[in-house]
Structure 1
């Protein structure tokens, strides 16, 4: 406090990142004499970009730590799959995999999502009792002892066997997940190329099952994919999940520094993010059937002639949601999925493990 007070008296600039935790805001307020409500007005944009530029490109040593964190995630998801059977309470699985993460590292890298209501994004309610016929979505990861994180999602049937309808939608999501892992390469723009390509791939599958009419490109151009995947394809990953978006994307208007964001092109701002060798990002497409969103879009007359609302309502409103997620390391020529093995992901692999 004395050091900072002296610096302030000398008119020196104090650089800090935009805080979001309450205790951090109070600490900074006391140290700098800035009211908590005004802290964001004095944050250091220079430091924000410097940290993101430093942390986005991973060294070989950091990649090794990420591979170590992968093993924690692998053990967590394998445990969840073995526990999945009718009658188990979702929180029993959530608690068990949190124990795995704590026994192998520093604990979970974010609060685990373990829910049969996969259509509810970031659903932290795990009070449901698993029932045959439902799908269980588990989005979870671990943090290793050097603070590096993993983040994976798997979705599988409680009964241990996909229904024909579940498999049909699952295979669309898996095809998209695999497609992205094949095409990602350095130099690609995240939003304008990678995310849009995921939308196109999912749209092709939805046209194939009759939920979308016309061409996949027309559906994407009309914004209809928002109805089925209302989130970004992925995010940066490293010493945090959503690394480094937590440094301000959700609390800062980047239009104020649009030129700076485009020049930096880091994961700090997904709209201007250009992938580079050493970048690690998640690949997590999904298809969700969200009754409230269906009601809203249909009532507002959105996507008429593109979305088959009759089919959607008659067969899919109680479906839930599917997401599949792995972590990609961008290389000099393309990318690879992190890990020395694959968390079971195909229909056949999942059916051989779940509930066994």
Structure 2
């Protein structure tokens, strides 16, 4: 079934690419998977991940030095490096039968490959990090081409949905393993180990580094330097982690309270309810900017509910007070990029919708489109560095500082689901559906 969806995916991409290539005067397009990077003053390599522009065509995320050539006629040609290498594991290959849409050719060196490629064609463009063949600068990653590619990636195929559906299924199971490890008193590093073991992945195969913050560390938005020693007391736990399937990511966040009868546990429940209200409001045609503004209203309601602020929810939003407790955006597109490109593109020619001045971190600024996949991830944090900026200013009196001090040891809360907007306007919550199936 997945193979058939993949073949349909390639056919759809080919039609889309050829249309805008013709519009841009591009006769042929060469896409590189990328090269491994050597660590400075060493002979060791950084972990390799393929160029995202390559991954949306081919589920080869761990094979360097591959190239895809797309022309206006005929099958695309996939060039694979098969130079003899006794030092490393055999390179990743396509699943059986998945090479049907391509003409597969092999090379042993870039010199040999250059003789196969139409590099003299002035209507050839290149997408990739390294200009391996010394092409003129104007033909390498031209902005107009990247705008078209990034814009079309907002529209997902059934194959892409299937990959992210499976990525959510695997990640949800691993999240449950992490939750159990937290409740068993494990360290952050031990919790990460439980997560990786459950999804049967190495750390380098993750779509992004696992965020696993205990207690105050839940207030560090990207807490990657995990502690190997468990704290004396487990109060709270925030995990933000996904799984990669054929180059497509899931991106899920959950927050837990160790004591189910604590005020923090009640706050987590309140945030979960608000998050689901925001999911329901994130449908077809919804403005990303308006959804983010609504999320600030929802966060303000929680702050009022738990006596963290001394003003109304409306005033907390209007005065910018919620920015201290909620410093990031409501979400982002997701696909071969964890933070998918194109969320600010209103058209393929490069017209953009800038985030409002009061919310500069917002990624999705345009209206949501059919088949798009995006995350909904409101957060509420007690970050000392941000809270300290309120002291001595006009906002200080609006905060119940005694209540803040009670919550600082818990760090914060973030809850994140992955949402598909179907063409008929219905929403599919990949994350919650996977959770329901796990029970």
In the alignment, which residue of structure 2 is the partner of 1:122?
222
Contact 2:332-2:364 within 8 A present in 1 as well:
no
SS of 1:232's equivalent?
A: coil
The residue correspondences of 1:76-225 to structure 2 (distance < 5 A) are 76-85=174-183, 87-103=185-201, 107-116=205-214, 117-127=217-227, 128-144=229-245, 146-157=246-257, 159=258, 161-191=259-289, 193-225=290-322
* CA displacement at 1:302 relative to structure 2: 5.2
The residue correspondences of 1:30-69 to structure 2 (distance < 5 A) are 31-32=134-135, 43-69=141-167
In the alignment, which residue of structure 1 is the partner of 2:413?
322
* CA displacement at 1:28 relative to structure 2: 2.7
* CA displacement at 1:296 relative to structure 2: 2.0
* CA displacement at 1:241 relative to structure 2: 0.8
In the alignment, which residue of structure 2 is the partner of 1:338?
430
Q: Which runs of 5+ in 1 are unaligned?
A: 18-23, 264-268
Structure-2 change in CA distance of 1:289 and 1:6 (3 Å): same
Structure 1 residues 204-213 or 274-283, which shifts more?
204-213
- Give the distance between the partners of 2:180 and 2:404, measured in 1 at CA: 33
- Give the distance between the partners of 2:121 and 2:150, measured in 1 at CA: 29
Q: Which runs of 5+ in 2 are unaligned?
A: 1-109, 355-361
In the alignment, which residue of structure 1 is the partner of 2:379?
286
The structure whose residues are more often helix, as a share, is 1
Work out which of the two has the higher radius of gyration on C-alpha atoms and give 1 or 2: 2
In the alignment, which residue of structure 2 is the partner of 1:228?
325
* RMSD over aligned Cα atoms: 3.5
Q: Deviations over 1:259-308 (max 9, x none)?
A: 71249xxxxx8353210111111111111100111112324x25344333
SS of 1:281's equivalent?
A: strand
- Give the distance between the partners of 2:350 and 2:413, measured in 1 at CA: 37
The size of the alignment, in residue pairs, is 313
Contact 2:334-2:373 within 8 A present in 1 as well:
yes
The residue correspondences of 1:298-313 to structure 2 (distance < 5 A) are 298-299=391-392, 301=393, 303-308=395-400, 310-313=401-404
In the alignment, which residue of structure 1 is the partner of 2:131?
28
- Give the distance between the partners of 2:222 and 2:398, measured in 1 at CA: 28
* CA displacement at 1:87 relative to structure 2: 4.3
- Give the distance between the partners of 2:309 and 2:427, measured in 1 at CA: 31
SS of 2:240's equivalent?
A: strand
Q: Which runs of 4+ in 1 moved over 6 A?
A: 3-6
* CA displacement at 1:88 relative to structure 2: 1.8
- The alignment's TM-score, normalised by the length of structure 2, stands at 0.63
Structure-2 change in CA distance of 1:85 and 1:210 (3 Å): closer
Structure-2 change in CA distance of 1:89 and 1:261 (3 Å): same
- Give the distance between the partners of 2:402 and 2:191, measured in 1 at CA: 34
* CA displacement at 1:96 relative to structure 2: 2.9
- The alignment's TM-score, normalised by the length of structure 1, stands at 0.76
